[in-house]
Amino acid sequence: MSDRKRKPATLCVQGENSQTSGPAVAPIVQASTFVFENQQQMLDSVQGKTGKDVYTRWSNPTTKNVEEKLNALEGTEDTHVVASGMAAIASAIMGLVKNGERVLSSDSIYGGTFNLFNKILSQICMEIDYVDTDAVADTLEDSGSKYKLCFFETPTNPTLKIIDIKKVADAAQSTGTISLIDSTFGSPINQRPYTLGIDLVMHSATKYLGGHSDIIAGTISGSKELMSEVRSAAKLLGGTMDPFASFLLDRGIKTLEVRVAKHNSNASYLAENLSRDSRVREVHYPGLPSHPQHDIAKKQMYGFGGMMAVTLDTDLAGTSRFVDSLKIFLNAVSLGGVESLASIPALTTHYGIDEKSLNEMGISSSTVRLSVGIEDQEDLLDDLMAGLDVLS
């Protein structure tokens, strides 16, 4: 085979390295500790001179296999896989931001991240400033060197706002700010932020990377220099990925490209049809020409994803009736699996957040988040239409 760079579908299955012998599937190394012939060998490994594994809280061969595959997909130098997306965010920020330094965050983010910032990080003397999604890059440019790190999502959870990745990356580089993106909704198939200049790319691997709603996992990818600090923090925080879960994550990634293609087409089909229904006040999907940041999404995304949100022309009680009536869309949190899910953010992912903050995020009591799976698109549309009939 030529030296031509492999395409994402190939990278998902085999990564960058050609296998010439051994098992076709990376084995599960279900071990907590590793044996050395003598103390010098162990010391060399503890000091990182050999690359050999010492203790699974630090590294594990099964997990390393997944990390190498994600490096190939993201175009990064180093990836660390941990026990959850929240562990990935916590490890990155606590490894890179010191006491008294400031973090800039877009105001439209996952509720768990919002609570991590406000209830944990702000209490250990980190300063968190929030800004509208449209103003992240401009705020950075005007800040001088005020911020150590800038965190943002795109597309955002749950209302699918889009932030110009390249613009934020350029602003962060010009001010010496570390940029960190939660790219969960996009997946490495639909967008690759590192190639646009972002320093660190994070995923809740529970979602599209795993793809089957059977693991909890998180990933963080970037340069070796930054990742050395992230790895050190993750090692101490203890959010270790179990080797069997790493095996399942690798298995999920093998079908990532084909799954995301189906997610993309199904969500686009539903968004187009729902946007023509008068019972739906607004459809939040970056693939629609009516989306406020559609042109930005076209510029930086290879596909528009399987996530969408709808704002219904009803109140919370009506919204609950709509979700409860669905048969194919399962009434559950999470996203990115092969099955379609529906949830009300105000009652789930963003529950307990004050009304002012919810309004700034564009979330109302009639907002429904839909994780569009890979079922037949006509069956999915029929299910949603039957739910809307309940409101009528």
Q: How far is CA 196 from CA 89, 244, 390, in A?
A: 20, 33, 45
Q: Which of 120, 83, 117, 124 is nearest to 103 (CA)?
A: 117
Q: Judge whether 57 counts as a catalytic residue.
A: yes
The dihedral over CA atoms of 165, 80, 251, 201, expressed in degrees to the nearest 10, equals 0
For the four alpha carbons of 205, 207, 210 and 213, in that order, the dihedral sign comes to positive
Q: Which of 135, 79, 86 is nearest to 107 (CA)?
A: 135
Catalytically annotated residue among 69, 78, 107, 110: 110
| Strands 127-131 and 102-106, bridge-based pairing | parallel
Catalytically annotated residue among 57, 64, 262, 321: 57
Q: Judge whether 235 counts as a catalytic residue.
A: no
Q: Judge whether 166 counts as a catalytic residue.
A: no
Catalytically annotated residue among 182, 199, 250, 383: 182
Q: Judge whether 281 counts as a catalytic residue.
A: no
What is the C-alpha separation between 48 and 103, in angstroms, rounded? 30
What is the C-alpha separation between 105 and 210, in angstroms, rounded? 27
What is the C-alpha separation between 85 and 144, in angstroms, rounded? 30
What is the C-alpha separation between 139 and 356, in angstroms, rounded? 21
User: Cβ(148)–Cβ(200) under 8 Å?
Assistant: no
| Beta-ladder partners of 182 | 153, 202
> Angle at the Cα of 119 (from 184 to 121), degrees rounded to 5?
70
Active-site amino acid positions: 57, 110, 182, 207
